[in-house]
Chains A and B, each alone.
Chain A
Amino acid sequence: MIKVENLHKTFGKDVKALDGLSFEAKDGEITGILGPNGAGKTTCLRTLYGLLKADEGRATIDGIDASQEPIKARAQLGIFPDKFGLYERLTAFEQIDYFASIQGMSGKAKKAAINEIITDLGMEELAHRKSQGFSQGQRMKVTLAQALVHKPKNFVLDEPTRGLDVMSTRILRDYLNRFKAQGHCILFSSHVMQEVAALCDRVVIVSNGRLAAQGTPAELCELAGESQLEEAFVKLIGSDEGVAA
């Protein structure tokens, strides 16, 4: 479970990125985090990863404080970052193996886990090719595989479907649903409303570093008195800047 409590973060003297943000992402659920550009989503996620320290408040992963024990907290996480790159001179298999070893896996168990995820994501043909020249979809698969190979209890994805074709998006969705069914906690940031509406059990709307609203997509629509999540989102953040994003 991922819990964010009263997070405050200011950059420089007056750039307030987070202003008392609180929310919870429960196990066995996909929680969507929505917000216009500059709302504080990436800052919030980076605080979760233990890369940034909050001025006030705390972020915990399965009860472990991300700023106090970042390495222990990261061990509970599978991360699909905002900007993902690959080691172009390594093969997909070597890349997944690298992250599995960093996560503390070794020997036969590691090999079995790598082969399993390669099969699950239908990456057999890619596995022993160097990642230089991979398409965006192929890159997504490798990043997903390296983030999930150690079967993390909690999984954080920052705009994972950006630039993906329909087939790759469907693979990702299927995979997330499977993880959810196994009781994992998934926190998912996106700008694509239909996707959030279709995939997420709960949605957290962030605006100006604060929680603007939270609930199931249906609850949010009801709260805003709209039938579409996109309309509800615009109404709830109180501007139309998110639509252009």
Chain B
Amino acid sequence: MNNGFGQLKALIIKEFKEAFRDKRALMVAFSMSLLAPVMIMVMSKTMIKEIAETPAVYAEFKGAEFAPKLMKEFRDDNILPLSEAEGNIHRIWQERAITVTIPESYQQDMVDGHIINIMLSADYSDKPSLSPVRRIKDVVRSHARSIGYKRLMMRGIDVRLLRPLNIVEQDQSQPSSNAMMISIMLGLYLLMGAFMSGLSIAIDTSAGERERNVLEMLLCQPVSTLKIVLAKLSCSSSIAALSIVLMLTVTSLTMGFVDLTKIGATFSIDAGTFMALLGLLIPICIFAASLQLFFAFQAKSFKEAQSTVTMLIMLPAFIPLALTFIDDRPQWLDWVPVAGQSIIMEDLFKGLAINWPAFIVTSIVTLLMSAVLVAILAKKLKSEKVVMALS
């Protein structure tokens, strides 16, 4: 028994030594942990700017002189003529080519009570143009509504007649659910981090060792293949878990620099959330490492292993995305690896209570699936097919 533990300890120590001396693999493992939070911070800041602030919008106004009041409303909303933009800003807005055309007959039509067509021309598929177009439409609508109300009031008609029904909305979502975008991104990054961080190490320790002719020597030793797989799994999944801890810590720190209250949102990773996320993601790290080892060991070469295992990254990227399209999710999705964790993370970020039974079941299912993969792999390493592939 002691000897068995001594062997496992030696195998694990060797794996960690090799992993921590492989600077490139470590760089891959931890680069995502450091870059992802910075990206989330930058994206959040941009989002807040778009939602909460009204930055200057420049459009080309044709026939501005025919509608001075409308132009004043545009100006009040910081929507300005393109001629007022300078330098680089002028170039950017010129490329967006947002044009508002006011007809020559504007004033006469206004007097006659005719419908006036204000022409708005823009590239609606261009994402940066969407917010300016929305703001221009809002100004025109609100100006039109206010003129319409004044016309009715002058005729002695109560404007409330136009609103026979009124809808009173009660948004039951928690305040922090406004930060859903940030949460979805962070959830995706965490899952990707769990899958990607240990990837290089898993490939190096399996297909890499085979290519360097050290696997045969190891398989000839008086040690069970299960211990060999467990040692490699523990190293690869620990690196992934370490990367997740780093990612969560850096995210907590960087999000402190973003004032989410501007969009009525709160977002913080407190100790409880931190531990819950870690508890959710550690089984995923183990599952990812076992999947990667499983495929990498069966690849014929290091290169083949790289291609096959890289395809596995699709899993954490695809599943949460697919979930957003399923409105009525079947319950078994709560228990499936990756999907289960993704759903619980979504609730966690919304500020909802954790569904503990689902948390426990999905963790157990994930760990069980990892155990099955490890057992199959340990058996496969004893097979003649693997031995014959050594030479």
Contact = CB atoms under 8 A, between A and B. Distances in A.
A51 B217 contact: no
Nearest to A101: B10
B9 to A, nearest CB: 7
Interface stretch (B88-96, B153-161, B218-226, B339-347): B218-226
A98 interface: yes
Contact of A52 (B6, B209, B217, B384): B384
Contacts of B138: none
Given A46-B387, A52-B384, A89-B21, A101 B220 contact: no
A102 B228 CA distance: 11
B217 A81 contact: yes
A90 B220 contact: no
Nearest to A71: B222
Contacts of B223: 71, 102
B220 A79 contact: yes
A62 to B, nearest CB: 13
B212 A81 contact: no
A51 B383 CA distance: 8
Interface string A77-117: 10101111111111000100111011110100000000000
Query: Which range holds the interface residue count of chain A?
Result: 35 or more
Nearest to B217: A81
Contact of B6 (A71, A90, A104): A104
B14 A52 contact: no
B128 to A, nearest CB: 48
Interface in B307-360: none
A90 B17 contact: yes
B125 interface: no
B388 A11 contact: yes
A94 B10 CA distance: 10
Contacts of B384: 51-53
A3 interface: no
Contacts of B14: 87, 90, 94, 98
Contacts of B224: 71
A151 interface: no
- List the 7 closest A-B pairs by CB distance, nearest first: A85-B213, A101-B10, A75-B222, A74-B222, A89-B21, A83-B213, A85-B214
Interface of A: 11, 42, 46, 49, 51-53, 71-72, 74-75, 77, 79, 81-90, 94, 97-99, 101-104, 106, 130, 143, 146
